[in-house]
Amino acid sequence: MAKVMWKPGTFLYPIPAVLVSSGTMEKSNIMTVAWTGIINTNPPIVYISVRPERYSYHLIKESKEFVINLTTEKLAFATDWCGVRSGAKFDKFKEMKLTKEKANFVQCPMIKESPVSVECKVIEEKNYGSHTQFVAEVLAINADERYIDEKGAFDIAKCNLISYSNGGYFLQGKKLGKFGFSVKKKK
């Protein structure tokens, strides 16, 4: 079967669907972001891309901080709702019955119901047209202790994380192998 060529666009799927919290404990917002990822390991650097029309854009631009909160199957409804409703009109924490949790290094609240909250400090901004990319250093990773095993490792498989793909949300599937499994020597 042949491949069909389409015009250029954004089709690198699946990608994480995350809830980004911004602002302060008193004046905060949550927005859904799918344009996010890792840029560097040491120092740890990530990015989010945000449209300037978004309410959170100005909160992040002003404070230079945000928190990336991973989303789960239980957070799927809130993830979608926070992406289609404006923080200018709704208190998303209140509407979605999500709990603000104080972060360690940034003023933005973390989302208690998220299994992982990543505290970020903006180090660079780049405008690419429809979106501004906020490049940020990771200041702390806050993991829910329910997902930490007896060896102190984080068991991401227990989280039921979701991803975004071509207009839909999907539950991540089963683990297929561990990094390096293709070259591991047989016992």
In a domain, 179, yes or no: no
Q: What is the pLDDT of residue 1?
A: 85
In a domain, 7, yes or no: no
Q: Which two tokens stand for residue 52?
A: 């300037």
- Alpha helices in 54-147, H assignment, sequence order: 55-63, 76-84, 92-95
In a domain, 20, yes or no: yes
Contact 107, 120 (CB under 8 A): no
In a domain, 184, yes or no: no
From first to last of its 187 residues, the chain has per-residue pLDDT tens of: 899 888 888 788 889 999 999 999 999 999 999 999 999 999 999 999 999 999 999 999 999 999 999 999 999 999 999 999 999 999 999 999 999 999 999 999 999 999 999 999 999 999 999 999 999 999 999 999 999 988 988 888 889 999 999 889 999 878 788 888 889 887 7
Q: What is the pLDDT of residue 173?
A: 79
Q: What is the pTM of this model?
A: 0.93
In a domain, 10, yes or no: no
Q: What total of structural domains would you count in the chain?
A: 1
In a domain, 153, yes or no: yes
Q: What is the pLDDT of residue 87?
A: 92
In a domain, 180, yes or no: no
In a domain, 128, yes or no: yes
Q: Which residues contact 33 (CB under 8 A, 6 or more apart)?
A: 17, 18, 19, 20, 48, 49, 50, 68
Q: What is the CATH number of the domain that holds 120?
A: 2.30.110.10
Range of the domain at 59: 15-171
